[in-house]
Structure 1
Amino acid sequence: MEYILNIETATKNCSVALAKEGKTILCKEIAEEGYSHAERLHVFIEEIITEAEITVNDLAAIAVSQGPGSYTGLRIGVSAAKGLSYALDIPLIAVDTLKTLASQVVVTDGLIVPMIDARRMEVYSAIFTPNLESKREIIAEIITEGSFSDLEETIYFVGDCSEKCKAVLNRENFIFLDEIKYPSAKDMSLLSFEKYKTGDTVDVAYFEPYYLKDFLITTSKK
């Protein structure tokens, strides 16, 4: 049996899930205003391994959310994942954070736009089909009244920035699924297993999260 430990820390949600053959069997997570990832992450990992009555040596791979998202959150999650992968000599799998968020939407039509809050009216976003095929790459953008106006399909928005975006994204074909706020490790299970089966892994020594650092560069005043 292939057990994969999934770690998701890209947002306020500190989340860990254990999956077997691509199905989540245990998940522990907490979303707090004050990031508690450094305190909670390793506790969750230990609790899940204990409750599943396995040992870390039973793990076939470690999967981690690769971003975009919180710089600190991603750094904590990736550091833990790389440490486990290296110590256990098992593969490290990187999973797209926005794809994990989009996977929570169950629809048969339209397009899914997962968004992660950056600052002010800025977000990290992508566009997926209901089958999670990418229709547009991940970008950092400022949301305006004209955002996504070129899309005529029904657009389902999910993420932790719905409240601030609703004020400007108010076209008839825009639907906000407020109940889907954060990516969760439990929704990484199938995505990471599919990558595991095809050998889609990353180099533990050189892997870095997708910070989108260039988005934070500002132009100096003259």
Structure 2
Amino acid sequence: MSLILNLETSTKNCSVSIARKGICLLSIEEYSDEFIHSEKLHLLIQYAINISKIDLNHLKSVCVSKGPGSYTSLRIGISAAKGLCCALKIPLLSVDTLTVITQKINIKDGFLVPMIHAQSDLVYTSLFNHSKMRLTPIFVKKFGYNLFKSITKNKRVYFFGNVNFSKKEKKFFYELFRFIPKKITPSAMEMCSLSYEKFCNKEFNNIETFMPFYL
């Protein structure tokens, strides 16, 4: 049945989904101003299993967000995924946070620039085309006017993520790019098709050596 459990814990959003062949059957998440993953993640997993009425033994894989994001919360999600994979003897999958958050935005032309707040005025970011293909590696950069300054201005560029923008920064992005002001956080719901594609391609991770992607 290709049932996959997806876990997303890279930000303050604690998120769980269950998918069959890339289609989301159930998604549960809880956002808090504090990091609540250690208290909530296993409860959400159990709740999702109970509501969906699936047998844990029918899971074919667990997919976890590998980051970038909060190091502590990523480790909690990865530890939970590893534990389930070892107990059920199923493979581990992973997907990076910026690819996950990019699934929330659909455009016909231009570029996508997802951002995850790192610390202070730094963000994790990367550049994607309209087909959501990554064009640059993930890196940490100071948020400001020089962020992706080399992007051609005759293409639409969409900035979005969980970053708090100042009025000055918002004005700049509205003038030169397409800025999506709503704070957007990664969710396990957007992992469903990604994890299924990786499962079909057998892009499994080594359970013993797998670590969070944290720059």
Between the aligned partners of 1:39 and 1:56, the Cα distance in structure 2 is 21
Distance 1:12 1:192 in 2: 21
Residue 158 of structure 1 is matched in structure 2 by 160
Aligned residue identity for 1:53: K
**Paired letter, 1:96:** D
Matched, 1:129 2:136: no
Aligned to 1:27: 27
Per the alignment, do residues 168 and 53 of structure 1 end up closer, same or farther by CA in structure 2, a change over 3 Å counting?
closer
The answer to whether the 8 A contact 1:143-1:165 is kept is no
- Contact kept, 8 Å, 1:22 with 1:193, in 2: the verdict is yes
Q: Deviations over 1:138-190 (max 9, x none)?
A: 00111222222211221111111142496277143422223351000000000
Normalising by structure 1, what TM-score? 0.91
Taking only aligned residues, the RMSD between alpha carbons, in angstroms, comes to 1.5
CA contact (8 A) 2:37 2:73 kept: yes
Q: Is the 8 A contact 1:9 1:73 kept in 2?
A: yes
Q: Which residue in 1 is equivalent to 2:208?
A: 205
**Is there any run of 5+ residues in structure 1 with no aligned partner, and where?**
213-222
Task: For 2:73 and 2:111, locate their aligned partners in 1 and report how far apart those are by CA, in whole Å.
Answer: 28
Give the conservation status (yes or no) of the 8 Å contact 2:115–2:163.
Answer: yes
Q: Which of 28-37 and 163-172 deviates more?
A: 163-172
Amino acid at match of 2:133: E
Stretches of 4+ moved more than 3 A in 1?
none
Instruction: Tell me the residue number matched to 2:169.
Output: 167
Q: Which residue of 2 aligns with 1:219?
A: none
Q: State the distance in 2 between where 1:60 and 1:173 align.
A: 46
Which residue pairs with 2:12 in the alignment? 12
Between the aligned partners of 2:79 and 2:206, the Cα distance in structure 1 is 13
1:107 Cα deviation after fit: 0.6
Give me the whole-angstrom Cα distance separating, in 1, the residues matched to 2:38 and 2:60: 24
How many residues are aligned here? 212
Give, in angstroms, the shift of residue 63 of structure 1. 0.1
Does the CA contact (< 8 Å) of 1:93 and 1:195 recur in 2? yes
Q: TM-score, normalised by structure 2?
A: 0.94
- The match for 2:43 is 43
Where 1:202 maps in the other structure, the secondary structure is coil
Alpha carbons of structure 1 residues 96 and 145: separation in structure 2 relative to 1, 3 Å: same
Within-5 A mapping of 1:80-119: 80-119=80-119
Quick one: which amino acid aligns to residue 165 of structure 2?
E
